Amino acid sequence: MSTPRHAVGIDLGTTHCALSWIDAANSEGERIAQHQLTIPQLTAPGTLEAGALLPAFLYLPHRDELAPGALTLPWPAAPSPIAGALARALGLATPIRLVASAKSWLCHPEVDREAPILPLEAPDEVERISPLAATMQYLAHLQAAWDSAHPRDPLAAQALTITVPASFDPAARELTATAARAVGLDDFTLLEEPQAALYSWIAASAGGWREQVAVGDLILVIDVGGGTTDLSLIAVDAREGALELTRVAVGEHILLGGDNMDLALAHRLRAKLAAAGVELDRWQLQQLTHGCRDAKEALFADPALERLPVVLASRGARLVGASIRTELTRAELEETLVEGFFPEVAADSHPQGRARAALTRVGLPYAQDPAIIRHLAAFLTRHREAAAPAATLARPTAVLFNGGVFKAEALRERVMAVLAAWLAPTGAPPPRQLTATDLDLAVARGAAFHAHARRHGGVRIRGGTSHAYYVGVEGAAPAVPGIEPELAALCLVPLGLEEGSPAAAPDQEFGLVVGEPVRFRFFGADLRGDDRVGDLLEEWSPDELSELEEVQVTLTAHRHRPGEVVAVRLQAAVTETGTLELTALPSDGGDERWAVAFDTRGRHTRR
Amino acid sequence: MAAPKLSLSRRIRLALKQAWRTLGDSRPVAEPDAQRKHDEGDRRDAQEAALQLLALFQREGRLVDFLQQDITASDDATLGAAARIVHTGCRRVLDEHLPLAPICQAPEGARITLEPGFDANRLHPSGALLGSPPFTGTLIHPGWEVRAVRLPEPVAGHDPRIIAAAEVEL
């Protein structure tokens, strides 16, 4: 393959996808030529438009629903599913055919992510698709859009970085990688979204970032997307005279984002209308949500405005007299968003969990507490050792905001004020704000910069795996009927294992039967930085290790007969792509290697 | 795609040409035979662009619904509420598809001078129009100019005369 001409970054967001690229030939050092792909997509039947964002929605049309030809794209493609703006618009009227938030399902441990389960509420007649297939659709659309704009430089031949949430576990990262390979993108690297946001900040500074941070700084990245909140801490150190960035902590997967805020405003105005005797249907509520978003942005942008009308059009052709009018006041906006999502709480507060209803259906594990600030408090408390032993709170010295939500200065100011109040008792100065640009596109732009810097040299954020990983090993105690055997955890991957590090296998041996699938329980720990490969934990607190998807391996007969028991050891490595690779190898030194795969078929399907 | 692609500048030129014809003179200008066939294709493209724009105004701003409704008996408050929908949506269409800028940056009421050789397409003098330029006068209206035309790609097989399909909920 020839050398790639471009460095491309893809942001596979929960609500939007974007693609940015850097033309290496026209870039010199830290002065780079960065571009944004405008993505052709249907915006109405028979209407093709291009925008910087591809809404991450798929629509599975009924065969008689749309005229043939109305779905023609600029490249040969099957008419179903529809991706992008038209999918979102059609799904408004026909939600049983709309696939949304596929990315959140991709990391949902309770469901089979390779099985056609979406849309979850669809009647049997609708041909559903899997979360994995949905991810492939978005990637395929971006790829086709790129290839038709750059026929001589196909996407598969460019240096490519694809972003994932920092909170994605190894199985969800592997699924993202599988989706990319399935559409023919073989060579790419995965990058955590908050890191991408920081890369974008670095790229935009054209070298000036070195004057804005110093050794000892701890940068807190708060990335609030449409559907998720992603937190990371990145430390600034010196190595051989140059500044070095290390990602030292990532937060949990929090399903809470900007869309929740718009919806909260809409529900507030709906209650106001209901009090006046006006009931809204689903379609009007959706319009109200859009109207609230516009009013929110206008009110945040102009502090002199006290109130803005929000008018909902009727669905029929009668517009005058059949429209519903209400208004959003500044007091309502601040009470709902600033106090609701960013209240001034103490540093030791924790997200509040509501008791779940007795009958829970499988659904996305949305955050129970909408206060992003409490999730932030819990994150900084959990990672307090990033500050110093015995500290009560990690002490960020700088904050980088990302996501369209933070276009509102009032929200950024509130977060900064709360952080300053938390840090004041520790004697630490208030953190400063790093000036971010392009809050909607920063992740794609940062990803492109990452792909560029990988090839042409440039600053890299280090950090390796955010967790240590373990397999469950049954204890040696004699089995007692009715009592689960004691479980020990064998460390396979230490925290912070970097890509390309030499693989190491613990001495522990497992006797596996050839030809039969064998499962291991699998655990992750985000705080146990001292565990080394081969360490065997006999006990741990439930807060320390969280159970992830099981892993499984089937030894194929090669020089062994089916049924034979072979002693193997397990070994882990982080691939260049950024995924975790587990391998079983025979203890006798033979050269067979068996892949140990994450079981992404979902817990409830087999229990 | 089956439909031939036209360059942006060509589409602008065609759209303007068609608009001029529609507004000024509905009779087709006599043209040589070889030109006619080509020109009919051009006219179809330009008509399609006009219909696309109307569909956008309807989709985003409900403009057709608004104009087609009888508003003689409506009170101004009700009318005003509906006008907000039309204004917000149609403004979005203009910003995205036909971004506009005033021709004169000076505020209305400012004194400005038209130099000799001024572009009469862009600047229109009126009133005590005597002698030869430079003309000095008061800016009454700063004018509008479309800075770019970004209409959707037409999709072959789609009937552009359908501004909004009839909606039937099952």
For residue A232, the number of C-alpha atoms closer than 13 Å in the C-beta half-sphere is 32
Confidence label for A419 from pLDDT (cuts 50, 70 and 90): very high
Strands A468-474 and A487-493: antiparallel
Higher pLDDT, B41 or B9: B41
User: Running DSSP on this structure, what letter comes out for residue A97?
Assistant: G
**Cβ neighbours of B81 in A, within 8 Å:** 309, 311, 323, 325
pLDDT at B34: 57
**A97-101, A318-322, A494-498, B154-158: lowest mean pLDDT where?**
B154-158
- In this model, does residue B8 exceed pLDDT 60? no
Mark yes or no for CB contact A323/B82 under 8 Å.
yes
pLDDT at B23: 42
Higher pLDDT, B45 or B140: B140
- In this model, does residue A8 exceed pLDDT 80? yes
pLDDT at A352: 82
Mark yes or no for CB contact B167/A315 under 8 Å.
yes
Strands B135-138 and A517-525: unpaired
Mark yes or no for CB contact B158/A318 under 8 Å.
no
Instruction: List the single residue in A294, A313, A318 with the smallest CB-CB distance to B69.
Output: A318
Task: Measure the CA–CA gap between A445 and A487, rounded to whole angstroms.
Answer: 45
Q: What are the E-state strand segments in A240-334?
A: 242-250, 307-312, 324-329
- In this model, does residue A485 exceed pLDDT 80? no
Q: Do the beta carbons of residue A434 and residue A235 sit within 8 Å?
A: no
User: Quick one: which of B62, B20, B152 has its CA closest to A312?
Assistant: B62
User: Hey, what domains does chain A have and what are their CATH numbers?
Assistant: 6-191 (3.30.420.40), 213-255+348-440 (3.30.420.40), 258-341 (3.90.640.10), 468-598 (no CATH)
| Phi-psi label, residue B150: left if phi above 0, alpha if psi -120 to 50, beta otherwise | beta
* Contacts for A151 with CB less than 8 Å, ≥ 6 apart: none
Instruction: List the single residue in B157, B165, B167 with the smallest CB-CB distance to A69.
Output: B157
Mark yes or no for CB contact A320/B66 under 8 Å.
yes
Nearest CA in chain B to A324: B81
Residue found by looking up tokens 């200008």 in the block: B29
- CA angle, B53 as apex, B49 and B54 as ends, to 5°? 120
Q: Do the beta carbons of residue A465 and residue A169 sit within 8 Å?
A: no
- CA angle, B23 as apex, B127 and A49 as ends, to 5°? 115
B73 CB near a chain A CB, below 8 Å? no
Neighbours of A595 (CB within 10 A): 12
Find residues 85-144 of chain B whose CB sits inside 8 Å of chain A. 85-86, 88
pLDDT at A61: 95
Strands A324-329 and B100-101: unpaired
Instruction: List the single residue in B59, B71, B78 with the smallest CB-CB distance to A44.
Output: B59
- In this model, does residue A309 exceed pLDDT 80? yes
What phi and psi, each to the nearest 5 degrees, are found at residue A558? Answer: -135, -85
Instruction: Locate A189 and state its tokens.
Output: 């690297």
Mark yes or no for CB contact A48/B153 under 8 Å.
yes
Confidence label for A358 from pLDDT (cuts 50, 70 and 90): very low
What is the enclosing helix (H) or strand (E) of B51? helix B33-61
pLDDT, mean of residues A524-548? 89
Instruction: List the single residue in B1, B74, B156 with the smallest CB-CB distance to A320.
Output: B74
Strands B153-154 and B145-146: unpaired
Task: Measure the CA–CA gap between A219 and A431, rounded to whole angstroms.
Answer: 9
Q: Best-predicted range by mean pLDDT among A218-222, A256-260, A359-363, A527-531?
A: A218-222
pLDDT at A538: 86
Instruction: Locate A254 and state its tokens.
Output: 């929090």
Task: Measure the CA–CA gap between A56 and A47, rounded to whole angstroms.
Answer: 18
- CA angle, A156 as apex, A154 and A158 as ends, to 5°? 75
Higher pLDDT, B33 or A444: A444
Strands A16-23 and A34-36: antiparallel
pLDDT tens for each residue of B94-153: 999 999 999 999 999 999 999 999 999 999 999 989 999 999 999 999 999 999 998 888
pLDDT at A67: 84
- Rounded to the nearest angstrom, the minimum Cα separation between B19 and chain A is 22
pLDDT at A194: 96
Mark yes or no for CB contact A49/B158 under 8 Å.
no
Sorted by where each begins, the domain ranges of chain B are 8-25+38-98, 100-124+133-150
Confidence label for A40 from pLDDT (cuts 50, 70 and 90): very high
Neighbours of A123 (CB within 10 A): 8
B81 CB near a chain A CB, below 8 Å? yes
Mark yes or no for CB contact A47/B68 under 8 Å.
no
Find residues 150-169 of chain B whose CB sits inside 8 Å of chain A. 152-160, 165, 167, 169
Nearest CA in chain A to B167: A316
**Cβ neighbours of A69 in B, within 8 Å:** 155-158
User: Running DSSP on this structure, what letter comes out for residue A579?
Assistant: -
Higher pLDDT, A330 or A512: A330
Instruction: List the single residue in A68, A70, A319 with the smallest CB-CB distance to B82.
Output: A319
Confidence label for A375 from pLDDT (cuts 50, 70 and 90): very high
Q: Do the beta carbons of residue B151 and residue B51 sit within 8 Å?
A: no
What is the enclosing helix (H) or strand (E) of A393? none
pLDDT at B19: 46
What phi and psi, each to the nearest 5 degrees, are found at residue A131? Answer: -55, -35
Residue found by looking up tokens 């100065």 in the block: A429
* Contacts for A305 with CB less than 8 Å, ≥ 6 apart: A298, A299, A330
**A222-236, A432-446, B19-33, B145-159: lowest mean pLDDT where?**
B19-33
Confidence label for A42 from pLDDT (cuts 50, 70 and 90): very high
Q: Using CB atoms within 10 Å of the CB of residue A542, give its burial: 0 to 12 exposed, 13 to 18 middle, 19+ buried.
A: exposed
CA distances, B1 to each of A286, B5, B153, B156 (Å): 34, 8, 10, 7
**Cβ neighbours of B52 in A, within 8 Å:** 47
Instruction: Locate A222 and state its tokens.
Output: 């708060």
pLDDT at A592: 85
Confidence label for A126 from pLDDT (cuts 50, 70 and 90): very high
Higher pLDDT, B5 or B64: B64
Q: Do the beta carbons of residue A119 and residue A98 sit within 8 Å?
A: yes
ipTM of the complex: 0.77
For residue A81, cis peptide bond before it (omega within 30 degrees of 0):
yes
pLDDT tens for each residue of B144-169: 999 999 888 877 778 889 999 999 98
pLDDT at B2: 41
DSSP B65-118: HHHHS--TT--HHHHHHHHHHHHHHHHHHHHHHS-EE-S--SPTT-EEEE-TT-
Number of Cβ pairs closer than 8 Å across A and B? 84
| Residue-level length of chain B | 170
Confidence label for A222 from pLDDT (cuts 50, 70 and 90): very high
**Cβ neighbours of A95 in B, within 8 Å:** none
Mark yes or no for CB contact A45/B158 under 8 Å.
yes
The rounded mean pLDDT for chain A is 89
> Under DSSP, is residue A433 helix (H, G, I), strand (E, B) or coil?
strand
* Contacts for A28 with CB less than 8 Å, ≥ 6 apart: none
pLDDT tens for each residue of A49-62: 999 999 999 999 99
Task: Measure the CA–CA gap between A573 and A575, rounded to whole angstroms.
Answer: 6
Q: Do the beta carbons of residue A523 and residue A548 sit within 8 Å?
A: yes
Q: Do the beta carbons of residue B62 and residue B86 sit within 8 Å?
A: yes
pLDDT at B16: 47
- In this model, does residue A138 exceed pLDDT 70? yes
Mark yes or no for CB contact B158/A315 under 8 Å.
no
Mark yes or no for CB contact B158/A47 under 8 Å.
yes
Counting other chains too, the contacts that A581-584 makes at CB distance below 8 Å and 24 or more residues apart are: A582/A492, A582/A551, A582/A553, A583/A503, A584/A510, A584/A512, A584/A553, A584/A555
Q: Do the beta carbons of residue A158 and residue A4 sit within 8 Å?
A: yes
Higher pLDDT, A530 or A361: A530
Mark yes or no for CB contact A311/B85 under 8 Å.
yes
Confidence label for B21 from pLDDT (cuts 50, 70 and 90): very low
pLDDT at B29: 44
For residue B134, cis peptide bond before it (omega within 30 degrees of 0):
yes
pLDDT tens for each residue of A342-357: 999 999 988 887 544 4
- Rounded to the nearest angstrom, the minimum Cα separation between B102 and chain A is 23
- In this model, does residue B4 exceed pLDDT 60? no
Instruction: Locate A439 and state its tokens.
Output: 């809050």
Q: Do the beta carbons of residue B82 and residue A311 sit within 8 Å?
A: yes
pLDDT tens for each residue of B69-103: 999 989 999 999 999 999 999 999 999 999 999 99
Higher pLDDT, A145 or B2: A145
